[in-house]
């Protein structure tokens, strides 16, 4: 773990500026669709200057991805094994929905990457992500065994939560087009919908 810290304040500021601009551009156009010129212009820097802080376009992209994956998985880790199952999972759903509202660019960045076969993040999916999901699944299964959670496939439950919540960020162009909504009002309706929807699915049936 050779994490160097000799960051001057200019370095820190410019690296952040670049990563933020890159998030804008990559999340909107994908890796191949994005250009260094776009990133440089968005960041308000010259192209050679961008390359002074990052070795290559690829380096910017991977820096973004790996930096973001942690944040993206935190809500899953935050599920309390000792909590009330239905409440814990519902809270997770709400946290994920909130992330779609607050960090739509991050969500679309991952969406782009994964739709195109996850070429630069497959290791992390098959490694840390899989482990975390498997652990959580084991927990869900325990909860089901204890009669505190409906009988439901834990993996597919998690998939459905990702799908339904991230949909509001990843497919927002479609949702806005259909709801004719330019603001974020629909997120509150979505929260309501998902709350009822998942409560019904999760509460164990009597007997």
Cβ atoms of residues 77 and 119 within 8 Å: no
Phi-psi region of 147 (alpha: psi -120 to 50; beta: other; left: phi over 0): left
Please tell me whether residue 101 binds its own copies under the rule CB under 8 A: no
Among positions 21, 23, 36, 64, the unique one binding DNA when judged by CB under 7 A: 36
How many CB atoms are located within 10 Å of the residue 50 CB? Answer: 22
118 binds, among its own copies, DNA, none (CB under 5 to 8 A by kind): its own copies
* Binding window for its own copies (CB under 8 A); candidates: 7-15, 22-30, 41-49, 140-148: 22-30
> 146: closest CA among 86, 77, 94, 199?
86
How many CB atoms are located within 10 Å of the residue 78 CB? Answer: 11
196 binds, among its own copies, DNA, none (CB under 5 to 8 A by kind): its own copies
How many CB atoms are located within 10 Å of the residue 183 CB? Answer: 7
Among positions 20, 24, 30, 47, the unique one binding DNA when judged by CB under 7 A: 47
Please tell me whether residue 55 binds DNA under the rule CB under 7 A: yes
Among positions 84, 126, 146, 188, the unique one binding its own copies when judged by CB under 8 A: 126
């Amino acid at each position: 773990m050779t994490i160097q810290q000799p960051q001057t304040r200019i370095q820190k500021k410019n690296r952040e500026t670049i990563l933020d601009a890159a998030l804008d551009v990559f999340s909107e156009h994908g890796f191949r669709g994005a250009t260094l010129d776009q990133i440089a212009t968005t960041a308000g820097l010259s192209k050679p200057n961008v390359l002074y802080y990052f070795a290559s376009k690829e380096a910017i992209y991977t820096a973004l991805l790996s930096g973001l994956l942690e944040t993206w998985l935190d809500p899953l880790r935050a599920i309390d094994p000792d909590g009330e199952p239905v409440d814990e999972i519902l809270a997770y759903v709400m946290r994920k929905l909130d992330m779609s509202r607050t960090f739509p660019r991050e969500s679309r960045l991952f969406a782009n990457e994964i739709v195109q076969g996850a070429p630069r993040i497959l290791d992390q999916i098959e490694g840390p992500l899989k482990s975390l999901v498997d652990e959580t699944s084991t927990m869900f299964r325990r909860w089901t065994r204890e009669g505190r959670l409906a009988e439901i496939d834990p993996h597919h439950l998690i998939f459905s939560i990702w799908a339904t919540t991230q949909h509001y960020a990843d497919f927002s162009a479609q949702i806005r087009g259909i709801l004719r909504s330019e603001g974020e009002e629909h997120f509150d309706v979505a929260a309501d919908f998902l709350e009822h929807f998942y409560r019904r699915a999760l509460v164990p049936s009597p007997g």
